[in-house]
Structure 1
Amino acid sequence: MPRVFFLLLALSGLLAGSAHAQFLILKDGSRIPSSEFHVENGKIIRTILLGDNKTATTELPKQNVGSLDWPDVAEITEARNLMSQGKAEEALAILAKAKTSFEMFETLPGSPYAEIFFTYVELLSQAGKFEDTVKLIPQLKILKLSDAQKMQLRIIQLDIDRQTSSEYTSIIAEAESILSETDDSSVGASIWAMIADIYARQKDWEKALMAYLRIPVFYGTQLQRVPDAELKAGQMLVKMKRYEDAQAVFKRLVETYPGSAVADLAGKEQAKINGMKNEPETGDGKAEGKDAKPAEGAAPAEAAAPAAK
């Protein structure tokens, strides 16, 4: 009985693995697993096992491919993981490569191209690549999008408005409208990042701080957004002259995300205020009021609190 049990267990493992396999499906019904081909310079290069551990490669004509069976896109998972580690450039590089590889399959049934392209633009927006995001929006709008992607596109558009318009009241009203329409945590994290940035632009440091902190506190599952939100919360503490509190935030970021852009920025921010003590708050709970002029040489609010993603 134990032997039968272990055989069944092994079989179930194989079946589970095959359930997530990825294939090109040829028009004759043949299935080519992802391990047996790659895309190179716009061509599908297939690897054929000849025996005795020998292989040969041949070009597979694109017209022979009828559809794709691609239930999971590893590049998207990897890119989001890198974003959660504060490594935006590495995440974007992975998606850019995947986008190029799958572009030739864009119109085929089962192709993950639209999902890859959409995620690429979404992460461009999160990484603050404003001009690149704007350039790709027209292409994004002509893709066949799911309801969730349509909502995310609405958020990306709102983020563009946030960076190109000073109509903050209407932007915040639209942000609150989106929040009322969904309880999706990824949407909530996106919206609160924008709201926080608007408060920072208005030099309302305390409101900006509380808005940034909502992301790790209430939307902590959105790991790709947490490092940046915490960095900006630290920057708001500096604006409020809560230097010791800010140093603690920057120190933790350096230790938590070593080797990332966020850790590098946090280290630089920490060095600027190293050893400085908290200053007493003013009566309104802010160390620096909305109308106060920044100290000589200080960065403007937009630079101190980079665009939310």
Structure 2
Amino acid sequence: MLRYTFCILASFLFCGAAFGQAIVLKDGTRVPDTEFTMDGDKIVRTLKIAGSSATTVLPWQNVAYLDWPEPPELLEAKSLMAQAKADEALAMLKKSLDFFQKFEKIEGNWYQQVFFAYVETLSQAGKFEDTIKLLPLLRTLPLTAAQKMTLRIIQLDIDRQTSTEYTSIMAEAEGILADTDDSAVGASIWIIIADIHAKKKEWEKALMAYLRIPVFYGTQMQRVPDAELKAGQMLVKMKRYEDAQAIFSRIADSYKGSAIADTAAKEKAAINGMKNEPEEEPEAPAQKS
């Protein structure tokens, strides 16, 4: 019985290993990711036999498909964005993108998904020009319904930055909100709405829109740091300096080592010690004589 159990366990472990990241050749041979590296466009396989190793170049025409589970970089990039580490997230995705781009014509590659995530992260990180450059290529890919919605939001964010047609942009944003209960979509749209209010110098409306992200869309952690920073900046515009200092302090503590933490520290230093100013009373209408 013990021997039988051991055989089952061994078989299970072997099967688990067999379904890891690997290139599968046309003759059925599996080449796990631990056995090959990329040297430019060459697939270099390294085999260890009897304490020595030998390398060979695998011809592309021998590759049948990739047996590759979802790349961990997709999830790890979101985690880095939640820590306000946009540059690190982009670097990780770019490295993964460069790898899968070499296998773009091979079945089972993740090129499209990683490329889409890379462009979306560029947009979220405020890399405006880089996002615009890659959009034409992104539009040539077959996209899912969810990706088409994300692309629509990316374009709307670009319109928000390049156009002053705020009324039409706001109308489209509110229309998208009315048609979905997806939290990722909602968080993205509220950032755009808040940015438009900020451009129009409607500080309080912008503040409330930014604060909706951590309050109502807290699961979209990659959106929270930027929304919190901008909320603090709106408080400065409203001369609520003490409240802004509190937010900047929390950001600096929560996202240590990030660009947003550095920005928050500088913003706090610029208003350090300043007190909230009373709100200005609206002017009373002139009385008719």
- Give the TM-score normalised by structure 2: 0.90
Residue number in structure 1 paired with 2:182: 184
| Cα distance in 1, alignment partners of residues 22 and 155 from structure 2 | 35
Distance 1:8 1:265, change over 3 A: farther
Distance 1:18 1:183, change over 3 A: farther
Asked if residue 27 in structure 1 is aligned to residue 26 in structure 2, the reply is yes
Mapping of 1:71-86 within 5 angstroms? Answer: 71-86=69-84
- 1:289-308 per-residue CA deviation (whole Å, 9 max, x = no partner) reads xxxxxxxxxxxxxxxxxxxx
The residue type equivalent to 2:72 in the other structure is A
| Cα distance in 2, alignment partners of residues 221 and 12 from structure 1 | 39
Residue number in structure 2 paired with 1:133: 131
Paired residue secondary structure (1:46): strand
The residue type equivalent to 1:51 in the other structure is A
Q: CA deviation at 1:38?
A: 2.4
Mapping of 1:1-309 within 5 angstroms? Answer: 14=13, 18=17, 21-52=20-51, 54-283=52-281
- 1:121-151 per-residue CA deviation (whole Å, 9 max, x = no partner) reads 0001111111111110010011121111111
Q: CA deviation at 1:8?
A: 10
Flag the structure with more relative contact order, 1 or 2, with Cα contacts below 8 A and sequence separation at least 6.
1
Paired residue secondary structure (1:144): coil
Give the CA RMSD over aligned residues: 2.3
Q: Is the contact between residue 19 and residue 67 of structure 2 (CA under 8 Å) also seen in structure 1? A: no
Residue number in structure 1 paired with 2:287: none
Q: Is the contact between residue 42 and residue 101 of structure 1 (CA under 8 Å) also seen in structure 2? A: no
- 1:16-65 per-residue CA deviation (whole Å, 9 max, x = no partner) reads 9559722222122222222222223122122212233x433322122211
| Cα distance in 1, alignment partners of residues 15 and 219 from structure 2 | 26
The residue type equivalent to 1:93 in the other structure is A
Distance 1:20 1:80, change over 3 A: farther
Gaps of 5+ in 2: 283-289
Q: Which runs of 4+ in 1 moved over 3 A?
A: 6-20
Gaps of 5+ in 1: 285-309
Percent of pairs with identical residues: 63
The residue type equivalent to 1:165 in the other structure is S
Distance 1:27 1:16, change over 3 A: closer
| Cα distance in 1, alignment partners of residues 157 and 171 from structure 2 | 13
Distance 1:175 1:18, change over 3 A: farther
